[in-house]
Structure 1
């Protein structure tokens, strides 16, 4: 006779089977959508080719370059930009967002006439900044993820990135100002105590030293050590000014700031200057260790000769940037960024442009929506500190869903995701972080007591699929999926342009100077494949000059196609 327990098990099995059928149907629908996107891409490719005809025509004739008394002509191949045509990418799945933030995101996008993709990415990242270090998500018993995110929005200069980021991050700055005003009396008191203790230490040291031989000092070494210990505690444990966000900061200063702010920080900027800082703008060498470890909360310690080092036990960084396409293209110049996995840690959004179709008169964001968003951000910032052994756990349904999603990604790592394997390998973890953020938005302080639901994870998976498509496009822009000779060609022309201080309509450079500029290559043979690509693509022409009066091997000159500079100017508009 069938028991009630067996009937329940059969019902659960039927329910799981129904969910699996639903997931299969969603995958089939996704495949159909990808086919439609491919057809649209083919149409856009044709349009792009038509638009670039004027650049090609510019390169089909000779350009004369005069040097002194000698006149030489360089004949260029048809100019063919080394960029993939940017297709129309999928739009952000707004329906996947939690109810508490969806209306605000939509209203902000409408008010500012910007892409909802940009607003949604900013809001999710700002919330991750508020909750990093306070929650973690337990994916399975031996796998936990922090909830901080690295996110980059890539858009043209006129897309209103700065006003959008300013509006979305405003509650964080308001909270910092209010909190620091509250802290100020205690901070001032601690500063006074430190000055007094410093004076006492100096005075005691002087008196002990002066009476060392007489051995009749009114102070002992214990008195000195006691003052030093009290000063140390004030400096390390005393209340300090709260800093949640920085912008232009060196890695060393970043570590010091994190040390004073519970090992956490947010980097929020409408520019990409932080990439230049990572690449060594201030010290001529790439320094990305803290950014690598700040993504996952790994132990970080520094030791410097002549300086006190810093130790961060659980460093966590949230990064949200809005950059122009050229910044993304230039990133490929630094091999450490890709070679050490920095670029694989970011979620990339490349919203479809609204420029040319934006309205002038729009409704401002509803006051109640703005207040609800501001209160949410401030409440999350006020959330009491939690131990690291109190993670968010998955419901049984969400756990099964997580497994299916993980295995779908795993199979694709050796198939269509192979070119971005390192990034795709972090997709499941990043998706779980997003799911945790959605769960926290939904339940607030009670998030650790309620299992993360399958519905919440399903929304996060939709968002993860959005970032997958956009990140694939970003890696194409960066050229990281290009063959090596094309990567070398992009690096060479970038180095030439960065060091070019002359008239760009009449530009030549000795080949040996190019080799000197491109330190990636140690011999002339290594640079040849990249130069050949530039010749074939019409970027440059190489001509051998005349021998000098003393004979010998004539030098080679590289002529840069004026069409390249004209094309670059068009890209910046």
Structure 2
């Protein structure tokens, strides 16, 4: 086109087709609306990886997978709850010594899985604890005659002691009074210990009652629940006070408990306490956010799972029951692991790591250590990650026993690989959990507005629309404006502009179209 000054010149030389081509090239290209937006980011939210049931060994994987399919819940719920079942059944009877020396890890595990209300948590819970309930009933039936015998003997001895006390009080002769006192002593020493029906777990107990249950059950107890009362108990919220956490913390560490208070005594050398909780995210964030549970190390001891909810996408017409063979296989596997559970006063058997399993564990421990501390990747959750290598050793021992039975003495590479795979998956889940604890009210408000937007599949709205729809939450417009600002900063809505339709002007917002095409959970 050298020397050509306009489209007429171009047409004379190259024709009208060249003119059209030149115009089309110069014309601005229309950009799809969706490409103008950034990718939406949920306030306070983090994406977490799937935790598949296949991480468990054998029948335990099959059962967790079948329960997840039957309840249409993410596999993380049944998988993590099964981990707590294994810990509850095996703790106190086994320990793991990674180096084969006096450093030992007991086997309690605390898990906390967050899932919304209406998510069929109870169905997952019931499927997991069914064999424990059956064992408790059978063990209770076997123990009932001995419990009754001891009760009667203690009642007779108590009455006799009371009568002897009265006799001693009326006796003036010193030698005869001393003889009566000796008889009282013999009655006390001969009185059989009180016996309680065997229990494996409870669903709700204060820390103080937990001490008592541990003492009654030879230092072994599980707290398994699909409700949030455990956090209320730990925070003292159910009684409006501050709970004593000593027994709870020592139950995780396996360190000695010595309680000598008026009206209550508990002397335990190796208490073991496992927990398996499935709670609502809102309840977890509200109840656990208190500084005391974080400061005392309670929250650092949980293995968290924050799976993505599939509520709203479930097939209500689908009914896939857990196969009978799988349910019976799981039941029998748990009952096999419970053999010898009633034996009291037995020293725990110590498991060791095979050389290649030890090397795997050491490499993982080194990696975790390097990323902790000031400026490290895990600086914000160092209290949690510092305990993860110990948890990995515990998990490896549980998986080895679950796969090989009660006679296993050495944890092999496969079990350690399962444990380390799970631990690596749990890191982003822990980051999400602690982010929930740190989320402020504005993030919660922003998520509430986001749910309103997505429920109505809105492409645009005014501030007045939002306030009217959620007037109970946003009685003051300033609070709503802060929430909208968070959504704007996270590329969920556009910046505001005033709009008037015959009445008062109200801020007007466009909604990012990607909100409905990306897999984003509100």
TM-score range, shorter chain: 0.7 to 0.9
Name the CA shift for 1:348/1:206 in 2 (closer, same or farther; >3 Å).
same
| Cα pair 2:92 2:220 within 8 Å, conserved | yes
Cα 1:307–1:332 shift into 2, 3 Å: closer
After superposition, the C-alpha distances for 1:499-522 in whole angstroms (9 at most, x for unaligned) are xxxx946868xxxxxxxxxxxxxx
Task: Find 2:385's aligned residue among 424, 436, 446.
Answer: 424
Give the deviation of 1:400 after TM superposition.
1.2
Distance of aligned partners of 1:186 and 1:443 in 2 relative to their CA distance in 1, 3 Å threshold: same
Q: 1:47 to 1:174 in 2, by over 3 A?
A: same
Residues 394 and 280 (structure 1 numbering): CA distance in 2 closer, same or farther, change over 3 Å? same
Give the stretch that moved more between structures: 176-185 or 350-359: 350-359
Root-mean-square deviation (CA), in Å? Answer: 3.0
Q: By how many angstroms is 1:292 displaced? A: 1.2
> How many residues were matched structurally?
420
In structure 2, C-alpha distance between the alignment counterparts of 1:230 and 1:158, rounded to whole Å: 54
Tell me what 1:66 maps to.
none
Cα distance in 2 for partners of 1:265, 1:96 equals 25
**Could you tell me how far apart the structure 2 residues matched to 1:455 and 1:93 are?**
16
Whether 1:226 aligns to 2:179 is no
1:327-381 CA distances to partner (integer Å, 9 max, x unpaired)?
Answer: 2211454211111111000000111222222233233212121111111111212
321, 325, 349: which is aligned to 1:390?
A: 349
- Seen in structure 2, the aligned counterparts of structure 1 residues 371 and 214 have a Cα distance that, compared at 3 Å, is same
Q: CA 1:45–1:264 in 2, change beyond 3 Å: closer, same or farther?
A: farther
Q: Unaligned regions of 5+ residues in structure 1, if any?
A: 1-42, 50-82, 492-502, 509-531, 540-572
1:153 has 2:113 as partner = yes
Q: Is the 8 A contact 2:251 2:273 kept in 1?
A: yes
Of 306, 325, 333, the residue aligned with 2:281 is 325
Distance 1:420 1:107 in 2: 33
- Cα displacement string for residues 36-94 of structure 1 (whole angstroms, at most 9, x for unaligned residues): xxxxxxx9983457xxxxxxxxxxxxxxxxxxxxxxxxxxxxxxxxx41343x211144
* C-alpha contact (below 8 Å) 2:81/2:276 kept by paired residues: yes
Task: Map 1:354-393 onto structure 2 (within 5 A).
Answer: 354-359=310-315, 360-383=317-340, 385=343, 387-388=346-347, 390-393=349-352
Partner of 1:167: 127
Correspondence for 1:307:
263
Matched, 1:192 2:148: no
Q: Which residues in structure 2 correspond to 1:156-305 (within 5 Å)?
A: 156-213=116-173, 220-231=180-191, 233-235=192-194, 239-281=195-237, 282=239, 284-304=241-261
In structure 1, what is the Cα distance between the partners aligned to 2:155 and 2:222? 31
What is the TM-score of this pair, normalised by structure 2? Answer: 0.74
d(CA) in 1 for partners of 2:302 and 2:260?
28
Pick the structure with greater CA Rg. 2
For residues 460 and 440 of structure 1, the distance between their equivalents in structure 2, rounded to whole angstroms, comes to 13
- Within-5 A mapping of 1:557-572: none
- Secondary structure, aligned partner of 2:318: coil
Deviations along 1:505-543, whole A, 9 cap, x unmatched? Answer: 6868xxxxxxxxxxxxxxxxxxxxxxx99996689xxxx
CA distance in 1, matches of 2:153, 2:106: 37
CA distance in 2, matches of 1:248, 1:174: 19
SS of residue paired to 1:471: helix
| Partners of 1:108 and 1:162 in 2: CA distance | 12
Name 2:303's counterpart in structure 1.
Answer: 347
Aligned to 2:424: 465
The Cα of 1:443 is off from its aligned counterpart by: 1.4
Contact between 1:332 and 1:478, CA under 8 Å: does it hold in 2? yes
SS at match of 1:202: helix
Partner of 2:497: none
Q: Unmatched 5+ residue regions in structure 2?
A: 1-35, 445-470, 486-521
Q: How far, CA to CA, are the matches of 1:443 and 1:460 in structure 2?
A: 15
Q: Structure 2 CA distance, aligned partners of 1:490 and 1:210?
A: 74
Shift of 1:149: 0.5
1:46 pairs with 2:2: no
SS at match of 2:50: coil
Q: Contact conserved, 1:179 with 1:242, CA < 8 A, in 2?
A: yes
Give the C-alpha shift of residue 181 in structure 1.
0.8
Say if 2:289 and 2:437, in contact at 8 Å, map to a contact too: no
| Cα separation, partners in 2 of 1:221 and 1:155, compared to 1, 3 Å | same
* Residues 342/506 of structure 1: CA separation in 2 closer, same or farther (3 Å cut): closer
Q: Structure 2: how far apart are the matches of 1:165 and 1:216?
A: 62
Q: Is the 8 A contact 1:207 1:219 kept in 2?
A: no
**How far apart, in 1, do the equivalents of 2:405 and 2:95 lie?**
14
471 and 202 in structure 1: CA distance in 2 versus 1, 3 angstrom threshold: same
SS in 2 for 1:303: strand
Question: 1:143 deviation in Å?
Answer: 2.2
Asked if structure 2 preserves the Cα contact closer than 8 Å seen for 1:136 and 1:388, the reply is no
From the superposition, tell whether residues 163 and 534 of structure 1 become closer, same or farther in structure 2 (CA, over 3 Å).
same
Q: Is the 8 A contact 1:84 1:477 kept in 2?
A: yes
CA contact (8 A) 1:45 1:85 kept: no
2:73 to 80, 91, 114: 114
SS at match of 1:447: coil
Residue 184 to residue 536, structure 1, CA distance change in 2 (3 Å): same
Please state whether the residue corresponding to 1:100 is helix, strand or coil: helix
Write the distance in 1 (CA, Å) between the matches of 2:212 and 2:385: 32
- Displacement of 1:109 in angstroms is 1.1
**Do the aligned partners of residues 299 and 283 (structure 1) sit closer, same or farther apart at CA in structure 2, a change above 3 Å counting?**
farther
Give TM-score scaled by structure 1 length.
Answer: 0.68
Partners of 1:175 and 1:378 within 8 A in 2: yes
Indicate conservation of the 8 Å contact 1:110/1:362, yes or no. no
Aligned to 1:477, what secondary structure does the other structure show?
helix
The structure 2 residue matched to 1:100, chosen from 24, 46, 59, is: 59
Q: 1:227 to 1:180 in 2, by over 3 A?
A: same
Relative distance call for 1:534 and 1:314 in structure 2 (3 A) is farther
**How far apart are residue 265 of structure 1 and its match?**
1.0
